[in-house]
Amino acid sequence: MTMAIPFAPSIVQEDFLSLKDYSTDEIMDLLNLAIELKKPENKYLPLLKGKVLGMIFEKSSTRTRVSFEAGMLQLGGNAMFLSSQDTQIGRGETIPDTGRVLSGYLDGLMIRTFHQSVVQELADFSSIPVINGLTDDFHPCQVLADLMTVLEHFGTLKGKKMAYIGDGNNMANSLMIGAAKVGMDISVASPAAYAPTAKMVALAKDIAQYTGSKIEITESPEQAVAGSDVVYTDVWASMGQEQETIERLQHFQGFQVNEELVKHANEDYIFMHCLPAHREEEVTTAILEGPHSVIFQEAENRLHAQKAVLVALMGDK
């Protein structure tokens, strides 16, 4: 018998595909649950005893695989690694067929893939919860851990300002949405050719009008960082963009997070990076290893935030 959740969050969602689907209260419930599960006395609560999570990987991973697998084990369940090269999905079995078959074996599915449409289709045809471990559009698990880290450090989210410096990628998209949902301000600085899409900016601004969050898109890293509480960056060339590295290095000159840039931030700012980092490219080692860096607390929080998602979706209601 699975143990009941002693601090059950009020989550009405069946899947975890993007933070845009979650209300502010639901996100805060997940964050508070994650903080509870992080406490040493709650680390090994068997809230998912006997349950199995399938993990489909079409993109390689360190943090996603290890944190989900360790999280399921700590919760008393099991996790099963499913490489696309080793399953029929890699030989042409359709997503709907895969979802319906795996629903008969598992209690939940996490997928790390390229297209958001694949995650959505898998959720549509699965009768078990589906979790987005990363797509080219969104990375909600990472941003949930990021928000948890900011909340732990400052004690609040609303009214804090985040500066994101770099590519308008899945991290920029999810950070804009996550910030807007919890009432944080966010300024995104990217070269014009690599800014977040108009569609994603419009989505974040639509959410922000209900929470009072401010969304800014600029080509000036200094403007973005000015008065910020959080300085965040990511690699300039993500997985699948390796062939663009040289071109991107040229476009992103002037967008490095370094000691000169962070002078524009608040004195008590924190530095964040979703990792892995390309040291001396998007950020200097001095910043990564400096007193304002919380990157390893942030990385650890992937475990706790994802455990909260797993418990909320797969635990007894």
* DSSP reduced 3-state for 272: strand
- Which is catalytic among the residues 137, 273, 274, 306? 274
Consult the annotation and say whether 65 binds a ligand: no
Is residue 112 part of an annotated ligand binding site? yes
Please indicate whether residue 234 is annotated as part of the active site. Answer: yes
| 64 labeled binding residue | yes
62 annotated ligand binder: yes
Q: Is 239 annotated as a binding residue?
A: yes
**Residue 183: φ, ψ to 5°:** 80, 20
Which string of DSSP letters, residue by residue, matches 206-264? HHHHHHT--EEEES-HHHHHTT-SEEEE--SS-TT-GGGHHHHHHHTTT--B-TTGGGG
85 is in an annotated binding site: no
Query: Which of 139, 264, 273, 304 is an active site residue?
Result: 139
206 catalytic residue (yes or no): no
Show Cβ contacts of residue 93 under 8 Å, excluding neighbours closer than 6 positions: 87
Residue 25 assigned to a binding site:
no
CB 81 within 8 A of CB 61: no
Q: Give the C-alpha separation, 180 to 171, whole Å.
A: 14
* Pair 196, 176: CB distance under 8 Å: yes
Residue 27 · residue 207 · CB < 8 Å:
no
- Exactly one of 29, 107, 137, 142 is catalytic; which is it? 142
61 belongs to an annotated ligand binding site: yes
129 is in an annotated binding site: no
Catalytic residue among 107, 229, 234, 304: 234
Q: Of 112, 248, 273, 304, which one is the catalytic site residue? A: 112
> Does the annotation flag 302 for ligand binding?
yes
| Residue 296 CB-density burial (10 A; 0-12 exposed, 13-18 middle, 19+ buried) | exposed
- The answer to whether the annotation marks 274 as part of a ligand binding site is yes
| Residue 248 annotated in active site | no
For the annotated binding site for L-ornithine, the residues are 170, 234, 238-239
Q: List residues with catalytic annotation.
A: 112, 139, 142, 234, 274, 302
For the annotated binding site for carbamoyl phosphate, the residues are 61-64, 88, 112, 139-142, 274-275, 302
